[in-house]
Structures are given as structure tokens and as C-alpha cells.
Homo-oligomer: A and B are copies of this chain.
Amino acid sequence: MNCAILGYGTVGTGVYKLLTDKEKDIFQKSGSNIRVKWVYDRSFRRIKDYPLPSEVCTKDPDVIFNDPDVHCVIELIGGIEPARTFIFNAIRKGKHVVTANKAVLSASGPEIWKEAESNGVLLGYEASVGGGVPVIKTVKESLVGNRISTIVGIMNGTANYILSRMTKERKDYHEILKDAQRLGYAEADPTFDVEGYDTAHKLAILSMLTFGQKFTQDDIYTEGITRIAPLDIDFAKELGYRVKLLAIGRLNDDGVMLRVHPTMIPDTHLLAQVDGAFNAFYFVGDEIGKMLLYGMGAGQGPTASAVVSDLVDIARLKGHCSMKPLQTKVLSKASLKKVPVASLNSRYYFRFSAVDRPGVLAKISGILGEYGISIQSVVQKGRKEKGAVPIVMLTHEACEENVCQALKKIDSLDVTMEKTVLIRIEDLSALE
């Protein structure tokens, strides 16, 4: 399948890079060969970040629309114009379109969907909401059997980043904003993010898909985070709440209410745990109950990931590849080594059941030492349980094989009463 990328900014370079670097991967997984034939940009200022062969570059978008060999146009310009015109041009020329443009879709989604339908082309827009989080696909495909009553989301990474830092650091909005701008988490003009407009765009798109009728910005009550003071966050904390900029879409017997505003939510709720630049989407459906999707809602990698998933879907549906959706490839011959758990390196929690006698701890720790297992801390609570005393130990990182051997030896001592309980400790950040 031949594609053309419109807009070679952060996301454009990300998509080009992903398609180029992972050509083989994507072919293996999906049977599709996705080739970038053209890249359009007005200035190509970002070409130094990721160079392009000169023959794919064009500053004339009509070259792309008039090329019968282009099957799919990827619109990554953003904003309303000229993006909207480009999308319509591509559709009318019979090209499939993938876009990350929430502004255009929230303003003109239904018109674009209709145009695509009457021209027999497909339109992918997974990247328009939630970055790499598959929220569009989930609503459109996975939840098709549900009546969804509630959407609640943290849909803007910048606003959530600022509120999270205000909560942790007890600093003023303006101070954190400045720092966020310095670190690249906020734009020079942050209005769009902090006043809730970006969130409202995304809520409009999700509401159209969920509730099945047109909604625009005007249907959404929108309020930003700029008036929230450290004082408010402190009070919220004291009362067991967190302050989040939420998008809320709610269907009940009266109708649909859509709103975006700072909200105090119980600090025990999963949404309250969504910190930093992360997004989260919470749905309530009559079949599935509660569901939450969480991930990076913006950025080069996540957005490119969503764009590429749309491209592969189109390639599969339009026969540009050897594998249809819902097919699972017969797996290639094993090439990855299967690593046994014996070679795991982990931290461990041990609970020994030992007799309450002097020297027991020395015996146990001696054996651990023999096997190179170093102890981080020991707790001996002294609570007697049928003659045995629990001794709890945390280890530094050790090898599972050594641990097994050491415990075998310890469990055979006459001072231990029961088989030692072992629980592996995962500092989950090590798995990232």
C-alpha cells in the first residue's frame, strides 16, 4: 500500500520513522507492505531530525492528490485549515485517509464520515483521541454490544501534568506551568490545553461515537484549570480527594450532558492515580460494567503507533496484504529462547517458620550467604505460632536458582518447622 504523509512535524517524522524502521516487523505481523511514496510539508524544517530521500519530498499537495498510485493519505498537519480541505481532497480522489486531527473531526466529523462513505474510502482516526491508547477502536468495535452510559476521561496530558505536580509539590499553577513549558510538557501558548478546549474536542469525538449523534464544542460546558490554587488542592487532599481535569459524558433518562471541568474525585479511585502526562478513559457499559484504558495520550511514539494501527487495518481490509483482520498468522518457528525461571534475578520476601532458639537466625543467614543471597532487612516479630516464630526477610537482588537451593537447605534444618514462604518482589519500574 502506497501512502503519502501530509505534514512532517513531530508526528510525521514519527510515522515515517516507524514505517521505515519496522517495515519487516509489520510485514511479519500483518502481511502488509506499507510504503511512503510522498511526504508533503510547507517548509521541511524538521527534515534534519529524520532525513528523507529527496524523491519523496514535495511542497505541492496536489502532486499527492493527483497521483493514482497513492492509496492512502495520512493527514498530520493539525488545526482546521488547510487540513480539512486536504482531507476532503484526498477522499474525493478516492484515497483512504488516516488522521490524528481532533480539531477537524470534532468540528466536521459527520461531514467527513459521510464524504468517505459516499466515496467508498476508509477513514482511520485512532490517533485523534488518546494517542497510543486504542480508545476509538474500543468504542467502535469492542463495545458494540454495550449501551454506554458514562465516559469519564483524563484526556489532556499537559493539564494533568500540571495538576499532578501542583498536588505533589504544593506549588502555584503559574510556577509549574513555566517549568512545564521549559520541559516541553506545555506549549508556549498553553490556552488550548489548560482551558479545557483540547479535552472538549476529544469528548466531542467520543460522544458522537458513543451516543450516536452530532455534538460540537457548543454542546460541551468547558472550564479550565487556571483558577485552581495550591490551597484548593490541599483542602481536597485533606478531604480524601484529588483534583483532575475531567471530561464527563453522561447519558441518563433526561438526555446527554457533556462537560469538561476541574473535578474533585475520591483519591481511592483509579482515575485519581493517573498522574503526569498520562491519559485515562473510563467507561461504564451495561454488559462490561466498568472499564478503564490508560496510557500516553500524546507524543511522537504513541501517536505514530495509533496512525500505523489504522494504516495496517486499511491495508488488511483493502487487500493490500496477505492477512485479513481476525486472522492469526501461523506462528513462525521458534526463534526466541525460552528462559527458565531459574535464571530470574529478583528481590525476594522470605517467611521462615523457625523455633525460637538462639543462633537460628545466624544459621539461616549463613546458608543464604553461602549462596550469595544478601539480606536487605530482617524482621522477627516474636509472635509465637504453635511453637514456631515467623522470621521475615527481604533480600537484595538474587538469582532464583540460588534461592531455591538455599531454601531447600534451610527447610531441611531441624530448627525450621514449615516450608519457607517465598514471594518475589517486582519493582515494576524494572520491567519497563
- Please list the residues of chain A having a beta carbon within 8 angstroms of any beta carbon in chain B: 18, 22, 25-26, 28-30, 109-110, 113-114, 116-117, 122-124, 126, 131-134, 137-138, 140-147, 149-150, 152, 208-209, 211-215, 219, 221, 227-229, 231-232, 235-236, 239, 241, 243, 246, 248, 250-251, 254-259, 261-266, 268-271, 273-274, 278, 282, 284-296, 299, 301-302, 304-306, 308-310, 312-314, 317, 324-341, 343-344, 349, 351, 379, 390, 392, 394, 419, 421, 423-428, 431-432
Q: How far is the CA of A287 from the CA of B296 in the complex (A)?
A: 10
In contact, B256 and A338 (Cβ under 8 angstroms): yes
A170 to chain B, nearest CB (A): 14
Q: Which of B138, B236, B286, B335 contacts A134 (CB 8 A)?
A: B138
In contact, B259 and A331 (Cβ under 8 angstroms): no
A431 to chain B, nearest CB (A): 5
A288 and B270 in contact, given A256-B337, A428-B152 (Cβ under 8 angstroms)? no
Q: Which of B271, B296, B419 contacts A289 (CB 8 A)?
A: B296
In contact, A132 and B288 (Cβ under 8 angstroms): yes
Q: How far is the CA of A246 from the CA of B346 in the complex (A)?
A: 14
Q: How far is the CA of A142 from the CA of B152 in the complex (A)?
A: 21
In contact, A290 and B286 (Cβ under 8 angstroms): no
In contact, B295 and A132 (Cβ under 8 angstroms): no
Across the interface, name the chain B residue whose C-beta is closest to A342. B221
Chain B residues in 8 Å Cβ range of A332: 212-213
In contact, A349 and B232 (Cβ under 8 angstroms): yes
Chain B residues in 8 Å Cβ range of A248: 426, 431
In contact, B232 and A421 (Cβ under 8 angstroms): yes
Most chain B C-beta atoms within 10 Å of own C-beta, residue among A141, A265, A432: A141
In contact, A290 and B284 (Cβ under 8 angstroms): no
In contact, B221 and A325 (Cβ under 8 angstroms): no
